[in-house]
Amino acid sequence: MEVIGGVASVIAIVDLAGKIAKICAGYIGEVREYEAEVKALTGRVQCLQKVLQQLDDLLKGLHQGKLTSSKELQDNLIACKGELQSLEDRIEKIPPAPAAAAGPSYNRLKKPRKFFDSLKKAVKGETLSSVGRVLIWPIEKADVNKVISRLEGIESAIQFALQVDQTKVILDVDVKINLVNLPVAEGASFNWYGDDHEPKCLPNTREELLKKIDDWVKGSSGKHIFWLSGAVGTGKSTIARTVAETYTQARLLGASFFFRRGAGDRSNASRFFTTLATNLMQHIPDIRLAISKAIEKEPDITRKILKEQFDKLIFEPLSLTKHPERTILVIDALDECDDDRDVLTIVKLLGLLKNLNGVDIRIFITSRREVFINAGFQKISGDFQDLILHDIEEQKILHDIMIFLNHELGRIKTDHVYCDTLPPDWPNQMTIETLAKMACPLFIVASTICRFIGDSESLPGDLLMEILEGRQKLIEANPEKSLSLVYLQIIKQRVKNKTPTQISIMRREFQDIIGTIVLLQTPLPQNSLLQLIDIGESKAQARLDGFQSVINLPANPDGVIKTFHLSFREFLLDSQTKEQSPLWIDEYRVHRFIAKRCIAIMKKHLRKNICDLPSPDYIQKDISASIIKKVFPQELQYACRYWVYHIIESHEGVCDGGEAHLFLQDYILEWLEATSILQICFYNIDAIVTLESAISVRTKVTQTYLYFQGVC
């Protein structure tokens, strides 16, 4: 490996030191007057050789990129090479014989070639005895001491650099161990696996808005928060992803969090600041040590209140560093955080980042324009810039929606399985304009219409005609109503020409399959979902295929099934939908169904010592991730975590002899063991207390109540 500066390889200097050590060893016993000096020099060169070998090994090792001190040894290595080469030249040359030494013994050295041939043999480990008994050490004692002193200095410098770098590596390992304990919300950060096809702004759309955001990012005196608000379906998340992508490419994006209701940890603030901290460490590595120290000092910091997490993991580490470039944070769909109080806390705490001196942070936030969120922003002393998305001039929105429709319908025209049924001029410009007016100002209406028309099971031309038949109602409706009308039209199309009996069967399957997808606390892959609800793949596929315009069905069975937009969930759970739609969601019934299926899954899988550990002394970190993945399929992990939640949301209560009571009687230890292995045991106390509060007052509950008293 080349030394920094290209002077020579470290290994070449190692070899040179080894050669000199062997030459010096050949003098020992032959030059008695200088024997002590030769031994001292030999020992010093050998020590230097070992240190150089350590340096070479380290520079070739796994941590070579982190060895900043060792890589700055150029001057020392140049001096080392020069000193060793000079030493080699001096000890290989035989000085002239003094007069007193003339005689028969010295005549044996009159042939220097023979001497050096013998010396080479000595370097290879052979003896010098054949050369003769008269050897003259060519370096004076004082000079030897000077050489030793210089070599000691070089060795000390190299050893110090090695110690510094090895300490850094050890500390880095400690930091990594601490940071492993920093939980993140899966799927919340921009560019997370699985978000490949999430929409971003098309070229030539939202140009004025994106320019305004870019001016805010690059401006010298702008507010440090930009709040983009708007009604449901106006394209806030698409814009947020575009902003995140733009400043990722510019290397300015420091962190991001995309909230999503019903998506596990993305639907609450429990891992909001830990996720931001993890992102920021990658963008500003200097804060890693401070965050590691915070975790080491308070191992439970990740479970403390939001202000404590913010102070220890975000504000204090950032206050200890300097970062030359502006750093952008992107927070999307803040209104989809479950707890309104947490939303207000987040706004308040993010407002404090303006007080940092060494780091210039700007925060881009999107949300619906809820009254309480607006009040929260007003409390940060007006230090924010806001823009209401649906207040943008309608003609500009109409223009952007037309570009979107041209793009999406053009893709259907070329890629659809039945594209050969479409005329060359499909769709004409008048149709595009009509669809744009139907959708305006909601991009979600336009995208839902396009997905509906692009259904691979039907002719796109026929589906377009169905949409156009209801155009007048859509054009005249207010934005919220127009979205409901689109969803209603999709559902009615699925039940068209069905008998009452068929519709009844569809309704039950719709509740069990799509109702479960809508009400899960965190989305599940297709295989895990089918295991949870105990429905065959073919039946589920037949039911889901008709709703590909509103439900994202990944081609990969391991991909997560979820609604394209939160508004479809809200539509299905709206009490008015029951009166208008043949298919709707009975929220309480579906929660009861999910709770029962969770209990059934746990009964099927849970057992004592589920991981077959050899000893009770094993702790969670000793169990490999592969074993946990094998023993706990995702549907079982979900059941262990959320079964109590679904019982509470079912409003059915807990009673003697009920599902919850019987499960806890028979499986509470196995459940506690499983949640400990899955590192979700801190939810157990709250879960049991919550269950106790849900004991039904309308039924006999003596046994259940006493059981909970014993557990608590």
Residue 569 shares a structural domain with residue 607:
no
On whether the CB atoms of residues 367 and 335 are closer than 8 A, the answer is: yes
What pLDDT band is residue 435 in, cutting at 50, 70 and 90? very high
How, if at all, do strands 551-552 and 562-563 pair?
A: antiparallel
Cis check: omega of the bond before 479, within 30 degrees of 0:
no
DSSP-assigned beta bridge partners for residue 332: 258
How do residues 441-479 score in pLDDT, each as one tens digit?
A: 889 889 989 988 988 788 999 989 988 887 776 666 666
Q: What is the DSSP string of 267-319?
A: GSSTTHHHHHHHHHHHH-GGGHHHHHHHHHH-TTGGGS-HHHHHIIIIIHHHH
What pLDDT band is residue 100 in, cutting at 50, 70 and 90? very low
Q: What percent of the chain has pLDDT over 70?
A: 82
Identify whether 197 is part of a domain.
Answer: no
Q: What percent of the chain has pLDDT over 90?
A: 34
pLDDT given at position 577: 80
Residue 581 shares a structural domain with residue 607:
no
pLDDT given at position 430: 93
How, if at all, do strands 551-552 and 253-258 pair?
A: unpaired
How do residues 249-260 score in pLDDT, each as one tens digit?
A: 999 999 999 999
Of 476, 508, 540, which one is at a domain's C-terminal end?
476
At 174, list the tokens: 């400690």
On whether the CB atoms of residues 292 and 179 are closer than 8 A, the answer is: yes
At 544, list the tokens: 């889901």
What pLDDT band is residue 1 in, cutting at 50, 70 and 90? very low
Which range marks the domain in which residue 658 is found?
A: 590-712
Query: Quick one: residue 556, left, alpha or beta (phi over 0 = left, psi -120 to 50 = alpha)?
Result: beta
Residue 360 shares a structural domain with residue 256:
yes
H/E stretch holding 517: helix 500-519
Identify whether 162 is part of a domain.
Answer: yes
Q: What is the DSSP secondary structure assignment for residue 128, as one 8-state letter?
A: S
Residue 450 shares a structural domain with residue 349:
no
CATH classification of the domain holding 555: 1.10.10
- CA distances (Å), 616 to each of 623, 629, 679, in order? 12, 20, 17
Q: What is the mean pLDDT of the chain?
A: 82
pTM: 0.67
Of 389, 411, 428, which one is at a domain's C-terminal end?
389
Identify whether 181 is part of a domain.
Answer: no
Residue 260 shares a structural domain with residue 344:
yes
Residue 466 shares a structural domain with residue 517:
no
Residue 399 shares a structural domain with residue 501:
no
Residue 610 shares a structural domain with residue 669:
yes
Residue 56 shares a structural domain with residue 166:
yes
pLDDT given at position 147: 85
Residue 55 shares a structural domain with residue 88:
yes
What pLDDT band is residue 7 in, cutting at 50, 70 and 90? very low
Identify whether 188 is part of a domain.
Answer: no
How do residues 50-94 score in pLDDT, each as one tens digit?
A: 878 877 776 665 455 555 555 556 677 778 888 888 888 888 755
pLDDT given at position 411: 93
CATH classification of the domain holding 365: 3.40.50.300
How do residues 544-571 score in pLDDT, each as one tens digit?
A: 877 888 888 887 777 888 888 888 888 8
- Give the chain's domain count: 5
Residue that wins the pLDDT comparison between 161 and 122: 161
Identify whether 683 is part of a domain.
Answer: yes
pLDDT(312) > 80? yes
How do residues 591-643 score in pLDDT, each as one tens digit?
A: 999 999 999 999 999 999 998 888 776 666 678 888 898 999 999 999 999 99
How do residues 642-663 score in pLDDT, each as one tens digit?
A: 999 999 899 877 777 778 888 9
Q: Residue 297: which residues within 8 A CB-CB, separation 6 or more?
A: none
At 274, list the tokens: 């830990």
Identify whether 701 is part of a domain.
Answer: yes
How do residues 193-231 score in pLDDT, each as one tens digit?
A: 877 788 999 999 999 999 999 999 998 877 899 999 988
Identify whether 519 is part of a domain.
Answer: yes
pLDDT(177) > 70? no
Residue 433 shares a structural domain with residue 385:
no
CA trace torsion 452, 457, 463, 466 (10° rounding): -100
pLDDT(690) > 80? no
How do residues 345-391 score in pLDDT, each as one tens digit?
A: 999 999 999 999 999 999 999 999 888 999 899 888 768 899 998 78
Query: Taking residues 108-117, what's their average pLDDT?
Result: 46
Identify whether 576 is part of a domain.
Answer: yes
On whether the CB atoms of residues 517 and 561 are closer than 8 A, the answer is: yes
Residue 613 shares a structural domain with residue 579:
no
Of 561, 585, 609, which one is at a domain's C-terminal end?
585
The angle at the Cα of 377, spanning 376 to 378, to the nearest 5 degrees, equals 90
pLDDT(418) > 50? yes
